[in-house]
């Protein structure tokens, strides 16, 4: 079995927990996911099975989320599971929130949360935090393609926002920064990933439904349907060559990264030039 699964990660589990559950069900060790989701978050988690794990880097990596911000308090983790560290009596309005959100569209710089799995000097940030050690965290550039206010509850001081962003964006940091800009503080009380590349929440399968090998197999998505590269067809002779890491003859007008298709299946990814087509990843 090899291919992708569009899994809906439940709240309370880590992304690694989801992979562990699937390993027990289908008895395949070679399983990976395309992007970590915090335990308190839920939603789309693309999972790669078998040799399809070699294709992770060729999947689209933009993300989209629906996040609920609670204004008036901050936590050390920037989410609902952390310890409260500050509180404010300041009230904000729908207009205030909409006005601030406009400033976050485009390329921005943000600092990852100290409670995150990002590594500094080979050690995860949350490990430093748990040990009470200070560490220099550098800002990073990310892109917010779209950010919209979906709803605002004046009484509860909560806002639900939609964020479409680049890989590596921390929505917890985004919520924290928005709260800072409003002068009242904020943390995420809920986070749902609604899209990861071409994988969407409305098509995701709940983990508890994937209870047997047969059910998992029925929900496998073939790589040819998700790898957004130009495709070229290869013949019987060429499949033997690329399976041994050998180059094949180029195609006129084809250059750059391409998907290799044999008998209707994506069997690999290659780099095409005017001189040759050289396989980079072969999955057979």
Q: 89-107 pLDDT, tens per residue?
A: 999 999 999 999 999 999 9
Segment among 121-125, 135-139, 268-272 with least mean pLDDT = 121-125
Residues in the chain: 284
- Residue 107 is predicted with a pLDDT of 96
- Residue 108 is predicted with a pLDDT of 95
How would residue 87 be classed by pLDDT, with cut points 50, 70 and 90? Answer: very high
List residues bridging with 3 in a β-sheet: 49
DSSP letters for 230-257: -EEE--HHHHHHHHTT--B---TT--EE
Q: Which residue has the higher pLDDT, 167 or 67?
A: 67
pTM for the full predicted model? 0.89
Task: Report CA 280 to chain centroid distance, whole Å.
Answer: 23
**Is the pLDDT score of 197 beyond 90?**
yes
Q: Which residues are catalytic?
A: 38
Query: Strands, E, within the chain: which ranges?
Result: 3-9, 31-33, 42-49, 63-71, 73-75, 84-87, 106-110, 119-120, 123-124, 140-153, 158-165, 186-196, 199-200, 205-206, 231-233, 256-262, 265-272, 277-282
Rounded distance between C-alpha atoms, residue 40 and residue 79, angstroms = 8
Percent of the chain past pLDDT 90, that is, above it, reads: 81
- Residue 172 is predicted with a pLDDT of 94
């Amino acid at each position: 079995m090899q291919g992708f699964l569009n899994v809906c990660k439940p709240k309370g589990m880590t992304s690694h927990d989801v992979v562990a559950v699937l390993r027990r069900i289908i008895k395949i060790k070679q399983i990976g996911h395309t992007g970590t989701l915090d335990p308190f978050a839920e939603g789309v988690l693309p999972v790669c099975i078998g040799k399809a794990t070699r294709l992770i880097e060729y999947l689209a990596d933009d993300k989209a989320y629906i996040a609920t911000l609670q204004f008036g308090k901050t936590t050390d983790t920037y989410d609902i599971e952390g310890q409260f560290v500050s509180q404010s009596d300041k009230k904000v309005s729908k207009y205030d929130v909409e006005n601030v959100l406009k400033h976050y569209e485009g390329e921005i710089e943000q600092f990852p949360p100290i409670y995150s799995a990002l590594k500094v000097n080979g050690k995860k940030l949350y490990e430093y935090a748990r040990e009470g050690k200070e560490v220099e965290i550098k800002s990073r550039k990310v892109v917010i393609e779209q950010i919209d206010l979906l709803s605002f509850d004046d009484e509860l001081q909560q806002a639900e926002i939609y964020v479409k962003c680049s890989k590596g964006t921390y929505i917890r940091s985004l919520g924290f920064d928005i709260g800072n800009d409003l002068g009242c503080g904020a943390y995420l009380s809920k986070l749902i990933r609604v899209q990861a590349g071409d994988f969407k929440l409305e098509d995701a399968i709940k983990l508890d439904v994937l209870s047997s090998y047969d059910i998992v197999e029925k929900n496998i998505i073939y790589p040819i349907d998700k790898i957004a590269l130009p495709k070229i067809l290869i013949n019987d002779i060429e499949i033997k060559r690329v399976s041994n890491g050998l180059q094949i003859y180029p195609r006129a007008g084809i250059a750059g990264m391409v998907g290799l298709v044999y008998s209707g299946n994506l069997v690999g990814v290659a780099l095409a030039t005017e001189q040759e087509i050289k396989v980079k990843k072969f999955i057979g």
